[in-house]
Amino acid sequence: MGLIAFLKTQFIVHLLIGFVFVVSGLIINFVQLCTLILWPINKQFYRRVNCRLAYSLWSQLVMLLEWWSGTECTLFSDQATVDTFGKEHVIIILNHNFEIDFLCGWTMTERFGVLGSSKVLAKKELLYVPLIGWTWYFLEIVFCKRKWEEDRDTVIEGLKRLSDYPEYMWFLLYCEGTRFTETKHRISMEVAESKGLPKLKYHLLPRTKGFTTAVQCLRGTVSAVYDVTLNFRGNKNPSLLGILYGKKYEADMCVRRFPLEDIPVDEKEAANWLHKLYQEKDALQEMYNKEGIFPGHQFKPPRRPWTLLNFLFWATVLLSPLFTFGFGIFASGSPLLILAFLGFVGAASFGVRRLIGVTEIEKGSSYGNQEFKKKE
């Protein structure tokens, strides 16, 4: 094992990476708070500033995937579709099977210049997660409780507010509503059977309300829907902890572009279109599991240096005073100060571990673990 590989497995190194992410995130959140005064003066300038602030935080996670673990992401698509990346507002539909599916999506947004302006329809609980939810709040992310009767007005208002967004955005929808587990899949297929819908093997039954509402509210703003089907070579099930330990994965993403005018305006017909799309996604996963490859030409967009340079900037700014402070504590010889410092390190470790826990499938929400009491 080389020195770099050895360092990637060391807890103290993980702790330092976590320290940089958390402290820089708090600084960024504070700056974002200060930018609120810009909103009534120049809303579009506020948005552009916050896109770049968000980039400075999210790109640290992308750096872990691209540079720290060396994970490779391959696109399967066509040249005409790839040529549109980063040049239009779009809705992204991504399967929700893996702990780092969001990170693979982020690495693609970074490579095509839309990481800071990327959006998502997120569960309301994430709003209260430090750094993640706070940053999303300033980015005008649309949050929902996943109870349509309560969410309707909030979601519609949030989506319409994005109609004049000044930078190209990729709006991510996890139409399945929650991460795939065997229990959720079994229950979801019982619901499919009760509704007379075709069963899916690799996906949960898509929830259509969020999709049809997003299409309706963003029609005239977004140009297309990108359907993205993700899988990993070697039947791997990667995790954020694995990335932190420097494990390299190979992600494959099949991307298909559907012009928005091809999607029915009628809500019921649009819902049927989505169900048909998921049957096609299921067929793509079946093909991948049998042949180890998606259809289409392969593209490997090159990683850019900005994520690494951004992290090195924050590491330089934050770790130098930390090392100086820690050395001073131990040089003082004060047991009380040393214990307090070690207590701070322990608390920081716990906080970082809790943030990582947000991505873990086994710690996911119970949403989808009970049958619907009524149809969508």
235-254, pLDDT tens digit by residue?
A: 888 998 899 999 999 999 99
pLDDT, tens digit (0-9, with 9 covering 90-100), for 58-71: 999 999 999 999 99
pLDDT of amino acid 145: 82
* Three-state DSSP class for residue 139: coil
Instruction: Note whether 135 and 29 are within 8 A (CB).
Output: yes
pLDDT, tens digit (0-9, with 9 covering 90-100), for 128-183: 888 999 999 999 999 988 777 888 888 999 999 999 999 999 999 999 988 888 99
Instruction: Note whether 151 and 177 are within 8 A (CB).
Output: no
User: Rounded to an integer, what is the distance from CA 303 to the centroid of its chain?
Assistant: 18
8-306: CATH topology is Glycerol-3-phosphate (1)-acyltransferase (3.40.1130)
pLDDT of amino acid 275: 95
Q: At residue 32, what is the residue type?
A: Q
Helix 208-218 × helix 148-161 angle, to 10°: 30
pLDDT of amino acid 338: 80
Residue 277 pLDDT > 80, yes or no? yes
Sequence spans of domains, the chain = 8-306
pLDDT of amino acid 161: 93
pLDDT of amino acid 222: 96
Q: What is the pTM of this model?
A: 0.89
Residue 228 pLDDT > 90, yes or no? yes
Of 368, 373, 363, nearest to 185 by C-alpha is 368
Residue 270 pLDDT > 90, yes or no? yes
